[in-house]
Amino acid sequence: KGTKLLLILLCFASFVLYGMYFTGFGTNASTIMSFFEINEAQNGVILTVQSFACIVLTIILALVGERINKITGLFVGLLIMGVAGVLIGFIPNLFSEGSGYIFMLLFSLVAGVGYIMIDLLMNGVFADMFPNKKNTLLPYVHAFYSVGAMLAPLFVTAVVNPDVAKTFSRPYLFIGAVAIVAGVVLAFTGKRVLAD
């Protein structure tokens, strides 16, 4: 009830956004390659740098994760993924077609840090805040990643025009902006839940 229900819904929303961010890449790949004028191997490097960020942060969280407030960590993850998405969204405003690829890699690296924080810390949020319900709630929250993964191709297809390469950035901008808003609401909700 109340703020705890809102916390659960925000956790679900976090995984939807994470799923949309991560899986939308495939549908958007040709438009990304068209804008940056890169080949498939260079396009694959975008996922590689994200994965590198995930590996590094996984090791760090394995060492210090127990000392982190999980709700705060989730907020930070949403904020990082959101800011990275918004920055990618503005690339066409700052660079012409055929340039800006290095910034796409840099911002994708940052985004990888954000979404892996969401992934790794989510179980801890439910274990800490809903210890008696975690076995019931955790399968649901992970199912919402699948919801995001299913929505991503539909969303990307709706907002990206393959004939206008710069529109590759629209999904990143939208998902990033929503992630920032969700993160801020989550921060305030987490404070209220912890205060109760």
Q: What is the pLDDT of residues 30-89, one digit of tens each?
A: 999 999 999 999 999 999 999 999 999 999 988 887 788 889 999 999 999 999 999 999
pLDDT at 182: 96
Q: What share of the chain has pLDDT > 90, as a percent?
A: 77
Distance CA 187, CA 125 (A): 13
pLDDT at 134: 83
pLDDT at 67: 83
pLDDT at 135: 86
Instruction: Give yes or no for residue 1 having a pLDDT over 80.
Output: no
Indicate the DSSP class of residue 131.
Answer: T
Q: How confident is the model at residue 123 (pLDDT cuts 50, 70, 90)?
A: confident
Instruction: Give yes or no for residue 196 having a pLDDT over 70.
Output: no
H helices within the chain, ranges in order? Answer: 2-36, 40-64, 70-89, 91-94, 101-129, 134-159, 170-195
Stretch 110-139: mean pLDDT: 89
pLDDT at 132: 86
Query: Token pair for residue 144?
Result: 């919402």
pLDDT at 136: 87
Stretch 152-167: mean pLDDT: 96
Query: Token pair for residue 114?
Result: 């954000």
Among 114, 36, 123, CA closest to 81: 114
**C-alpha radius of gyration, the chain, whole number:** 17
**Mean pLDDT computed over every residue of the chain:** 93
Instruction: Give yes or no for residue 117 having a pLDDT over 70.
Output: yes
Indicate the DSSP class of residue 95.
Answer: S
Task: Say if residues 28 and 162 touch (Cβ distance below 8 Å).
Answer: no
Q: At residue 96, what are phi and psi to the nearest 5 degrees?
A: -85, 170
Three-class SS of residue 28?
A: helix
Instruction: Give yes or no for residue 176 having a pLDDT over 80.
Output: yes
Q: What is the pTM of this model?
A: 0.92
Q: For tokens 């969204």, what's the residue?
A: 89
Query: Token pair for residue 185?
Result: 């609401």
Instruction: Give yes or no for residue 7 having a pLDDT over 70.
Output: yes
- Among 21-25, 90-94, 122-126, 185-189, the range scoring the smallest mean pLDDT is 122-126
